Amino acid sequence: MDLFEYQGKSLYQKFNINHPKSKLIKNIDEIEESIDLNFPIVVKAQVQVGGRGKAGGIKVAHNSTELKQHSEEILGMDIKGHLVEVLLLEEASNILEEYYISFTLDRSEKKYLIMLSAKGGMDIEQVAAENPDDLVKFHVSPSEKLTSSTISELIHEANLNQDYEESLSEIIQNLYQMFIEGDCDLVEVNPLAITDEGVMALDSKVALDMNAKYKHTYFEDLEEEIPIPDSEKYAKEKGLNFIKLEGTVGIIGNGAGLVMSTLDVVAENGGKAANFLDIGGGAKAETVSSALEVLEADENVKSVLINIFGGITRCDLVAEGIIEATKGKKLVWPIIIRLDGTNSLEGLELLKENPNDKIFIEGSMDSAAKLAVEKGL
């Protein structure tokens, strides 16, 4: 579960991670109250999407007039389809140097991965692409500790300011403890800054491992603060594994691995997936029908790719679900279908017996993805 910046910073308090003084507001009336912050104040939109600064979602106020003006401009703003309902007001820091640090799990190595760079404030993908030597990577086994000597070596290798080595080492250790003890999938700070008030984590990008929800009572409190799209709520009610994305090609598949592969093949053919939707290993007709109903609620979907490999799932039941969901309807988008595996011939025959001018059948995943991208333009 991805957290808002302010939620991540609330966890900073639990793990003694130095960060700027701030206040959360949800309406303009709260600006009139005593906010107990010193100017200049940074007004930050709280949305779960990157690029908010470029979109005008971060502004600096030097007095009360500017604070109210910027807050009115940002609150209610739409940033890449995300409505700004909460603002984080934060005392501006006098930044001397900006660094980047992150902790995540490298599944291929079965170890934790630390990434550290002296080029903070930039997109880390840009740093990795243009100056890979400026990004230090280090793996830590879950069975081992991150020692102070290792942290010192990383600080030196990344060319961070050694005059602040003690403070940097302390905050890096605390961030690592938050990552481990807080059961996080990701902890990213960009920038981790040296300021005239010491080393601070000025930003927060945190994702929690919700499999550990039973261990942390506060996980549920954080989850309740995160708005869920109506499509995801409906999918959850129907027992579907659904995640909304930002593309235009709707994806339906059976099994997380197959769905992930389908997303990749769509991308390879120049498209972007509108969602991740896994109907499960034993999907029946009503499951497929519900999946199509979920996608109908997403205005961004321009075409739908149904990719089924029948193992436990019977392709003829999937075909029945498609027919049931589309019969007599004027489809708003084309549906491209690829069936393979158990009872696939029977399923394909059923589709042929119930033709629809907006339903197309393809024999391979690649050709199906290619057509779905073309139809979605």
Catalytic residues, which ones?
Answer: 100, 188
97 vs 120: CA distance, rounded Å: 8
Task: Rounding to the nearest 10 degrees, give the CA dihedral for residues 13, 19, 20, 26.
Answer: -50
Q: Cis omega before residue 191 (within 30°)?
A: yes
- By CB atoms closer than 10 A (0-12, 13-18, 19+), residue 103 is buried
Residue 173 DSSP SS3: helix
Compute the chain's Rg from CA coordinates. Answer: 24
Q: How many CB atoms lie within 10 A of CB 305?
A: 32
**According to DSSP H, which parts of 48-134 are helical?**
64-74, 124-130
CA torsion sign for 202, 210, 297, 363 is positive
Q: What is the DSSP string of 204-220?
A: -EEEE-GGGGGG-HHHH
For residue 105, the cross-strand partners are 112
Long-range contacts, 352-361 (Cβ 8 Å, 24+): 354/323, 354/327, 356/326, 356/331, 358/331, 358/333, 358/334, 359/322, 359/326, 359/331, 359/334, 359/335, 360/334, 360/335, 360/336, 361/336, 361/337
Distance (Å, whole) CA 241 – CA 22: 36
- Reduced to 3 states (helix: H, G, I; strand: E, B; else coil), residue 280 is coil
Residue with the two structure tokens 């969901």: 325
